[in-house]
Structure 1
């Protein structure tokens, strides 16, 4: 069982992880071992998520979900498949937890007193500059 939040958990049998050849440096080992972990999770077939949760995930993770409705994540940062598997599961849990977290609405607040004071001081300074210029005469043009 993979725990996402206090009320959301996903059985590991709903998650498919397979080993794939990893790209990048690694010497002779890179061409023989499949150390990259690719996680696939079918949102539509999940029995643990409610319809509302599935809808939220489809909306927030639409760039990561393919046309077939499968969420795909990959990890190849480590040199062993086991560590990449742990990492991709952690990323998956973090991604779902973040997507399912409720969005807090912004509470409008007033203009801070310091900001109001600075604005009025600026206006007074500008008025003082204009007042000290004196009258404009026709011959000065």
Structure 2
């Protein structure tokens, strides 16, 4: 089991990995060996994720989420297939850990009377500076 938090863990069977050829470093090896990893994880139908975490994970995934609710991560930073697999799983775990944290609710606040007064005073001062830039009235 892949541990996300104390309460949430994923079954490795839920993760699908395919290997593709990667661009980047590797010399001639890059043309012969499929070292990049394309990890697929079905967020929408995963029995391991609570509903709240699932919704936040879908929002965090953004463009990496397909229409069917499958998260697709591609890892090709390293030259070895094994290190790219580890990297892809680490990125999945990091995304799900972030989704598992409940966002702190926003408490609406109002500006104080002093803050409102400072704002008005600054606007008045700015207006008087601009007024000084005008041409003086002609005395004819």
TM range (shorter): 0.7 to 0.9
- 2:90 corresponds to 1:90: yes
Residue correspondences, number? 134
List gaps (5 residues or longer) in structure 2: none
Deviations 1:89-116, CA, capped at 9 Å, x for gaps: 0100111222232122222344379856
- Cα 1:81/1:112, change in 2 over 3 Å: farther
After the TM superposition, which segments of 4 or more aligned residues of structure 1 sit over 6 Å from their partners? Answer: none
* Shift in Å, 1:122: 3.9
1:49 is displaced (CA, Å) by: 2.0
Give deviations 1:31-56, integer Å, cap 9, x for gaps. Answer: 11111011111234422223444344
SS at match of 1:5: coil
**Residue in 2 that maps onto 1:107:** 107
RMSD in angstroms over aligned alpha carbons?
Answer: 3.3
- After TM superposition, the structure 1 = structure 2 runs for residues 52-63 of structure 1, keeping only pairs within 5 Å, are 52-63=52-63
CA gap 1:46/1:113 in 2 versus in 1, 3 angstroms: same
**Structure 2 CA distance for aligned equivalents of residues 107 and 21 of structure 1:** 49
Aligned counterpart, 1:46: 46
Contact kept in structure 2, 1:61 and 1:99, CA below 8 Å: no
1:27 aligns with 27
Structure 1, gaps ≥5 residues long: none
Q: Distance in 2 between matches of 1:94 and 1:112?
A: 40
TM (norm. structure 1) is 0.72
Change (3 A) 1:108 1:51: closer
CA offsets 1:51-104 (integer angstroms, 9 cap, x no match):
444344334435322133321101000111111111110100111222232122
**Is the contact made by 2:25 and 2:79 (CA closer than 8 Å) also made in structure 1?**
no
